[in-house]
Amino acid sequence: MKATPVKRAFKYRFSPTDAQAAELLRTFGCVRKVYNMALAARTEAWTRQQRVNYNATSAMLTAWKKTEDLAYLNHVSSVPLQQCLRHLQAAFSNFFAKRARYPRFKSRRKSRASAEYTSSAFRFRDGRLYLAKMSEPLDILWSRPLPQGARPSTVTVSRDSAGRWFVSMLCEDASVKPLPPADAAVGIDAGLHHLVTLSTGEKISNPRHERRDRSRLAKAQRALSRRSRGNGTNRAKARRKVARIHAQIADRRRDALHKLTTRLVRENQTLVIEDLTVRNMVKNSSLARAISDAAWSELRTMLEYKCAWYGRNLVAVDRWFPSSRLCSDCGALQGRMPLSVRTWTCACGTTHDRDVNAAKNLLAAGLAVSVCGAGVRPQRETSRTGQSATKQKPSQREP
């Protein structure tokens, strides 16, 4: 089967020289400044019911560079500045399409420091990457090779809160090929006690990466809270220590999710998940920490693009589908079921494990959706009071 090249980002760590670090930090600051100024201009125009698009902000950038106060914008490459305006335009497009919230201003401390270079602002030759305004190549740690013959179309340089430098190269990868068709299909029920429960009865334990380092993280955070606020060196060191612990937790979590999702995609032709609204569920203060540590959104994102790469089918069942309370054998719908009930017996005599039963029901609903059409979704049942009677509130989400 002939493979269609896919756009794939390859991310590597690198160690910049002092001159390169200074140039990149200067570029990050200018990108943040231009983004915030353009966002402020577009927000002000929004209040006056005027429309400002990318072309208008690009003209504003040209005018800003000519002023005395913003003349320093001329000292960095113009490509990252133009790219940040394109990113702002994409953010507004997502907002108007109701795919995202209104764009927010970038913070020097909290926002991700990054700059994107297009092909006119970098050179990639003989395995060496040269960025604009730099005479020396980046010292990249090549943890894996780029696809043979691949040429980066864009390069994104970033620095995380732990002080680590990364470069991400977007290339066309022709090595990604659809996998041979598989006969298996699986329903996946996400939880907290077990990260996922499969319709086959298998339960994948939740590694709880954040809980493993909770005492070490708390100790570092207490040390940070004792440092006087400001730009002192000791506070900066304490902040980096906290950030490094968070980075280690995130790296372990991402690695485990990659292994799990790759295995599920390789073994099954159709994967059925539940369309959870994680953003609303984390509003529950008693479960927010555990839900964030489980990273259900990242799990779904990985499944989505890996299924698209390898020719698999991913079906998302409506979140109001009563998967836990529906008997997977006879189809009888049970009454309200407390979270403490982990096993229950139906009137037909079948005893169900709550999570396994939910996964089986998700699989059946997902296969019905695949047969009837992608637009078919299980409807939510409404009680006489007008409130949903088929799904418990996020605060009562089963672990």
The residues annotated as belonging to the active site are 189, 274, 355
Instruction: Give the DSSP H or E segment for 10.
Output: strand 6-14
Question: In angstroms, what CA-CA distances link 179 with 62, 130, 264, 380?
Answer: 49, 36, 12, 35
Q: Three-state DSSP class for 255?
A: helix
Residue 224: phi and psi, rounded to 5, are -65, -40
Q: How far apart are CA 11 and CA 167, in angstroms?
A: 6
Query: In this structure, what are the phi and psi dihedrals at residue 273, rounded to the nearest 5 degrees?
Result: -125, 175
The answer to whether the CB of 65 falls within 8 A of the CB of 84 is: no
Neighbours of 392 (CB within 10 A): 17
- State whether residue 205 is helix, strand or coil: strand
d(CA 106, CA 109): 9
Instruction: Give the up-direction half-sphere exposure of residue 313: CA atoms within 13 A in the CB hemisphere.
Output: 20
Q: Which residue has the tokens 């090929």?
A: 177
